[in-house]
Chains A and B, each alone.
Chain A
Amino acid sequence: MFSFTVRRLGALIPVLLGMAFIVFMMVRAIPGNPAQLILGQQASKEAVAAMTTKLGLDQPWHIQFFNYLGGLFTGDLGVSIKTNTPIAEEIWPYLAATIELAIIAMIIAVVIGVNAGIISAWFQNSWFDYIAMIIALIGVSMPIFWLGLMEQYIVAIHFDLLPTTGRDNIRDPVEAITNLYLLDTLLQGRFDQFIEVVRHLILPSIALATIPMAIIARMTRSSMLEVMRSDFIRTARAKGMRMFWVVYKHSFKNALIPVVTVIGLQTGLLLGGAILTETIFGWPGIGTYIYDAINYRDYPVVQSGILVIAFIFVIINLCVDLLYAAIDPRIKYK
């Protein structure tokens, strides 16, 4: 198991190298000149040329790429063209905002999705099953930006129950320690702020959770239905076990592998693909960060931001693989 983990981590290197290369090239394929953007429309040709040299953008692309790679190996993600701050320093608050949002969304999606799937399979063809599966179908097919706007319009504007945008109350901002605001407010004992942070989290996390929740519910249901036909389920019932335990212990553990796979993939997607939700809800996350960087032709930020997301994605998948072995004793990694 240990050597498997090490080898899998080693296999990350070519993946990340490839990723870095693709992103590097794609960013440069976007039309526009960062030097011009920094200096503005009125800048003289000489000033732009000087700025281009200063940013190192006048060198051939392969030299730029190897300079970038060399930096990566020493933990240097580059310097933002826009803010002139090292990316490694400024990326964390954005990343933390996205992680907080994605974790909450995933908790909602997993708790509701898994249970809806289990109960639907347990009472197959019942009214619960039908309603849950219709909702799930609507959930997977609903455009997330539409749902987000509807939430804002109905809950936040029409009924004025929750805030529309942001992470905290701008008149009483949270003092960042870890940048995970739920944690920070608790560490500071500011329960009033904690409530405020929760209120800000509700709408975006529901918007973000909807699609994964629906996918997880459908996957859990079909996986459970298959398992519940097994002989060992009959054995468990023949022991006089309560149906609840037959379903949640004996069946669910066997149905878990496809469910865990989907949860892993969806978590990865949420971390990278939260851009729509973040934009709608003004959430200062990594999606917003990269989106702004693209508009500003902030090459280093786009490159490193995408690389960080890719890294997290692969790590999550590694965790999923390790979880397989923890769930099923027949799966052994050598």
Chain B
Amino acid sequence: MEFPMIEVKDLQTSFRTDNGEIPVVDSVSFHIEPGEVLGIVGESGCGKSVTSLSIMGLVPTNTGKVQGKIQFKGENLATASEARMRKIRGNEIAMIFQEPMTSLNPLFTIGEQLTESLRIHRKWNKKQARARAIEMMKLVGLGRAEALMDEYPHQLSGGMRQRVMIAMAMICEPELLIADEPTTTLDVTIQAQILELMKKLNRETNTAIMMITHDLGVVAEMCQRMVVMYAGKIVEEGDVSTVFQSPKHPYTVGLIQSVPDMREKKERLYSIPGQVPKPGSQKLGCQFAPRCTHAMDRCLSEAPPLQPFNNGQKVRCWLYGDRKGADIYDSAISSS
């Protein structure tokens, strides 16, 4: 039987606090095929970043606890030893972070930081690693790569630093690249360039990308499939085109509506009322219910399961639990 490259199953990551153990990611399951780009969407505080840190094995061991399965090429990373994880990190699974300004060490040259992975994982000598690093910098579109090798991060612009981060992540040719909001802090024009670059690398190297973002535009641009997370749980999953055309979960609908549309000038931009519940403050029933305009009695007492549809879409919502709810929902959507 063919494995997907990575399959996350019933992932639950919780943190010990003074108020007991609080789950931040709860029964999350998804998979990524080789060469695929999967988008993970949600507001801040939905557990997107914690999901990625769990895959990387970077959840702090003294306070955090990762349960469930993270099958990477048939191996469960959730139970892998730290030594084994070190071999995977940066080599088979690499990660780029949100803040290119602070994600590079200010006291080491770009070259030194770029070549580190090669020296750790491939035991290359300085000369080999340097040559490869320069090649990689050219690949990510950094001109005067050789001079940049001996410069320090503060001498580079934000866009250049993010390119360096990408080069650093891709240098060992990982099979999976986890990108945690890679464009959030960049200028719009630079954002487009970085996304274009990631798309190109995905095509050329067949590296799968797990794209974490709260920007639906990025998902539409980059991804084939998407997962929508809310309060640590997956609430909707499916092909990007399907989800954008017929979003099923009220949260997804809200997210799509909050994207400003050039074609219609509205007085006010739409926003979902309320905010993401703090981890640990979850109540019975559907976590989105307090903010949901379609909430029913059932939503407040019983947590909905993730239910599959025929087109491969999956939704965690009671509206589709019985026909009547669906009718109300459809009419609600068409009237808005």
Contact = CB atoms under 8 A, between A and B. Distances in A.
B87 A240 contact: yes
A8 interface: no
A248 to B, nearest CB: 13
B106 A234 contact: no
B8 interface: no
B284 interface: no
Interface string A295-334: 0000000000000000000000000000000011110000
B152 A231 contact: no
Contacts of B94: 238-239
Interface in B97-150: 97, 99, 102-108, 116-117, 120-121
B293 to A, nearest CB: 38
A234 B58 contact: yes
Nearest to A328: B107
B116 A241 contact: yes
A238 B152 contact: no
Contact of B102 (A231, A238, A239, A240): A231
A237 B89 contact: yes
A65 B28 CA distance: 82
B105 A254 contact: yes
Interface in A35-70: none
B200 interface: no
Interface in B140-194: 152, 154, 165, 168-169
A241 B120 contact: yes
- Interface residues of A, dominant DSSP: helix
B289 interface: no
A262 B102 CA distance: 26
Contacts of B106: 232, 254, 328-330
B120 A253 contact: no
Contacts of A87: none
Interface in A207-245: 230-232, 234-242
Given A239-B90, A242-B86, A329-B152, A231 B97 contact: yes
A240 B89 contact: yes
A221 B329 CA distance: 57
Nearest to B85: A240
Nearest to A249: B108
Nearest to B169: A238
B197 interface: no
A329 B110 CA distance: 12
B152 A240 contact: no
Given A231-B103, A329-B152, A330-B154, A238 B95 contact: yes
Given A239-B168, A240-B117, A329-B154, A234 B103 contact: yes
A237 B103 CA distance: 11
A261 B102 CA distance: 24
B95 A231 contact: no
A330 B120 contact: no
B103 A235 contact: yes
B58 A238 contact: yes
B166 to A, nearest CB: 12
Contacts of B169: 238
B56 A238 contact: yes
A235 B105 contact: yes
Contacts of A237: 58, 89
Q: Which of B86, B105, B106, B165 has the most CB of A within 10 A?
A: B105
A253 B97 contact: no
A18 to B, nearest CB: 36
Candidate in B102, B107, B116, B154 with the most chain A CB atoms within 10 angstroms: B107
Contacts of A254: 105-107
Given A238-B56, A238-B89, A240-B90, A232 B104 contact: yes
Contacts of A328: 106-107
B88 interface: yes
B104 A239 contact: no
A250 interface: yes
Contacts of B90: 238-241
A327 B168 contact: no
Max chain B C-beta neighbours (<10 A), residue from A236, A239, A327? A239
B250 to A, nearest CB: 34
Interface in B252-274: none
Contacts of B152: 329-330
B154 A231 contact: no
A330 B85 CA distance: 34
Contacts of A125: 62
A235 B104 contact: yes
Nearest to A230: B102
B91 interface: yes
B102 A232 contact: yes
Q: Which of A234, A254, A330 has its CB near the most chain B CB atoms (within 10 A)?
A: A234
A125 B97 CA distance: 28
A329 B156 CA distance: 13
A236 B168 contact: no
B306 to A, nearest CB: 30
A318 B88 CA distance: 46
Nearest to B53: A234
A330 B104 CA distance: 14
Contacts of B120: 239-241
Contacts of B117: 239-240
A214 to B, nearest CB: 26
Contacts of B116: 236, 239, 241
Interface of B: 56, 58, 62, 85-91, 94-95, 97, 99, 102-108, 116-117, 120-121, 152, 154, 165, 168-169
Q: Which 8 A-B pairs have the closest CB atoms?
A: A239-B90, A240-B90, A240-B89, A231-B102, A232-B105, A329-B152, A231-B103, A238-B95
9 contacts: A232-B102, A235-B168, A240-B117, A241-B120, A253-B108, A254-B106, A327-B107, A329-B154, A330-B154
Given A238-B90, A253-B107, 13 more contacts: A230-B102, A231-B103, A235-B97, A235-B103, A237-B58, A238-B89, A239-B90, A240-B85, A240-B90, A241-B116, A329-B106, A329-B154, A330-B154
